[in-house]
Structure 1
């Protein structure tokens, strides 16, 4: 679902740092990725790094902001490939789950790693989840929108199930069946 990030040696130092952080934080985790590793992979000096990001926390926040923008754009685009949520949501998630670098939701992962130690990150995570819920709600008929919170819980569960190794196709089948039951006319 997400377009792959491609390293461009001619990009600005800030962009290279952020790109490397995107890849390393998502694949290896925030706590496991030190600033020195980001600096080395981005090909910048420590002075350059700290000029753009005065602390690792600033880089974490920039990572979350950029990930949110990229993911929401891809998610809304994927949802718009089908008229009804019952088709759009399973297709969008399956596409994401099949990404070669899928490692779950960067926002769930960050919440698990950082807890409430970085209040600004916690707020970005909540914002991301609210916007994801809104994108889902936008695909529902007005009478079904009261079910948005339940659908979001199904989505979050599906994300984690695939992350822990369950077969993506089976998880999406279960999600589709749950959506059908939840969105039945008059339900």
Structure 2
């Protein structure tokens, strides 16, 4: 028989409390922020008791860290692991964000929490480092002369576009993508154009005109 629990109003509910807690955290942390969301409100939205919540998460800090891990556990695998795109196309695909893309949750968490030792802040930092690393690897595959520099430039551009989108309330990733294309083209050497007659192979001295013999 499946394990049951009782919610705040005493209703009997089936399994899935952990997922409801995480779902409520995504809604509330996004809409009103981490600091303004208390555990009482979160439990009410998730329809679980506080006792149940603390059985799944030792404290709110642990919940915030897990909330961030849920956003992109494989670090944009939908972009960087695509085999149907060239490395250059994968770099540009990192800027294909929906028009409704909000401020990056990792940036928002780091800004709100202030404490660099907070588990969520540490995870946000690790995620941002991982994004730059994946951009760097892809830039190297694309033939960039300085892939580390290009990776950091593109990572900074993604974060800037995300923050500006949130502040202005309008999509900024199309502009960021155009800037990214210019950076990528500047960082990747163009192949040398073929020289006239470059395919002709000569062996030995050039023939002497008949009039000079």
Query: How far off its partner does 1:11 sit?
Result: 5.3
* Cα distance in 2 for residues equivalent to 1:58 and 1:140: 35
1:151 is aligned to 2:154:
yes
Change (3 A) 1:146 1:113: same
Q: Which of structures 1 and 2 has the bigger CA Rg?
A: 2
Partner of 2:197: none
Q: Identify which of structures 1 and 2 has the higher relative contact order when contacts are C-alpha pairs closer than 8 Å and 6+ apart.
A: 1
Kept in 1, the 8 Å contact 2:21–2:43? The answer is yes
Q: In structure 1, what is the Cα distance between the partners aligned to 2:98 and 2:68?
A: 19
Structure 1 position 127, deviation (Å): 0.8
CA offset at residue 13 of structure 1?
A: 0.6
| Cα RMSD (Å) | 2.4
Q: Which moved more, 1:48-57 or 1:158-167?
A: 158-167
Counterpart residue number, 2:164:
161
- What are the superposed Cα offsets for residues 67-93 of structure 1, whole Å, 9 maximum, x if unpaired? 2416x2xx22124252133x3333332
How big is the shift at 1:118?
4.6
Alignment partner of 2:38 out of 34, 58, 64: 34
**Which digits, 9 at most, give the CA deviation of each residue in 1:41-87, with x for residues without a partner?**
211112211221232112112112222416x2xx22124252133x3
**In 2, Cα distance between equivalents of 1:179 and 1:136:** 11
User: Which deviates more from structure 2 when the two are superposed, residues 166-175 or residues 103-112?
Assistant: 166-175
Q: Which residue of 2 aligns with 1:5?
A: none
Distance, in Å, in 1 between the alignment partners of 2:32 and 2:58 is 22
| d(CA) in 1 for partners of 2:15, 2:102 | 26
Structure 2 stretches lacking a partner, 5+ long: 1-12, 191-213
Name structure 1 gaps, 5 residues minimum. 1-8
What do the CA deviations read for 1:152-186 (whole angstroms, capped 9, x no partner)? 222222222222225332333233333333x2318
Normalising by structure 1, what TM-score?
0.77
SS in 2 for 1:32: coil
| Pair 1:51-2:58 in alignment | no
Aligned length: 170
Indicate conservation of the 8 Å contact 2:43/2:50, yes or no: yes
Runs of 4+ in 1 over 4 A off after TM superposition: none
